[in-house]
Amino acid sequence: MAKAMLVDLSKCIGCRACQVACKEWNQNAGEKTENTGTYENPPDLSPQTWTKIKFVEQNSGDNVKWLFRRMMCQHCTDAACEKVCPPKAISHLETTAVVIDQEKCTGCKYCISACPFNVPRYDAADNKAKKCTLCIDRISNGLIPACAKVCAPGAVQFGERSDMVKLAKARMDALKTKGVNDLRLYGESELGGLGVMVLMTAAAEDYGFPDKPSFPVSVNLWQDYLKPLTIVAGGGGILAVLVSFIGSIGYKHKQEGGE
């Protein structure tokens, strides 16, 4: 059975235990940061920061809303990064996790350009792309991901995908009766179903998620037509095609308003 993570933003209190637990389990270094006028830090995902909480303030008159969003790999079923990876370093495993095999990664950055959620980060130190692994080393051994383990209010849950959907639907029903609108289970079907589903209490864009996540047309182009060529052909002849292709992914990405 497929597994999934549910991030229930209606329960998230922005305590960032998930951020710390992620670094602790994966032994990723703390970064030197500055306060730029917000609680949010580090400023962005990085090779050392695979998840972070984005703090969003919304104000209308006397009503203040403070939204907390989990930024992390969404572990798409239709994973653009997997499709574009020339050395096939990225695989969508049975456990739901989409992982980058660090041995095979050549640092080409295609995955970075292709990701609809702008998640993987290039690490110049070892010329590899880095991102959340869904704690593959934990979940393959029967444990839940570190972030789910430490989440005090229970906003991060991990289990059978069908159970997570049920949990989310029940929560949404309860919230509806309390008068909460703008409810959405993001990732139930998007991109073939996200391995990390998000229960939202505001519009996706308010959190900084694309309303309708999709991946660039050029990814399909690459997957279906160009990638096979790299296997049979090599050398300079194809280089020009590649350069043009990379450019098109980058263009498409900006157009879709990724972060």
Binding region for another protein (CB under 8 A) = 11, 13-17, 19-20, 23-24, 29-39, 41-42, 57, 59, 64-68, 152-154, 174, 178
Lookup result for tokens 């997957």: 223
- To another protein, the closest distance from the beta carbon of 233 in angstroms equals 45
- Asked if residues 82 and 91 have their Cβ atoms less than 8 Å apart, the reply is yes
State which residue, 23 or 75, has the beta carbon closest to another protein: 23
* Alpha carbons 23 and 146: distance in angstroms, whole number: 9
Other C-beta atoms lying within 10 Å of the C-beta of residue 126: 10
State which residue, 12 or 114, has the beta carbon closest to another protein: 12
- To another protein, the closest distance from the beta carbon of 211 in angstroms equals 23
Spatial CB neighbours of 138, under 8 Å, sequence gap ≥ 6: 25, 144, 145, 146
- To another protein, the closest distance from the beta carbon of 78 in angstroms equals 33
* Alpha carbons 255 and 239: distance in angstroms, whole number: 25
- To another protein, the closest distance from the beta carbon of 158 in angstroms equals 16
State which residue, 42 or 159, has the beta carbon closest to another protein: 42
- To another protein, the closest distance from the beta carbon of 51 in angstroms equals 12
- Asked if residues 204 and 186 have their Cβ atoms less than 8 Å apart, the reply is yes
State which residue, 49 or 77, has the beta carbon closest to another protein: 49
State which residue, 27 or 141, has the beta carbon closest to another protein: 27
- To another protein, the closest distance from the beta carbon of 9 in angstroms equals 11
Contacts 24+ apart (CB under 8 A), 185-189: 187/74
- Asked if residues 139 and 235 have their Cβ atoms less than 8 Å apart, the reply is no
* Alpha carbons 61 and 109: distance in angstroms, whole number: 44
State which residue, 20 or 238, has the beta carbon closest to another protein: 20
State which residue, 35 or 255, has the beta carbon closest to another protein: 35
H or E element in which residue 67 lies: strand 63-71
- To another protein, the closest distance from the beta carbon of 215 in angstroms equals 31
* Alpha carbons 156 and 197: distance in angstroms, whole number: 10
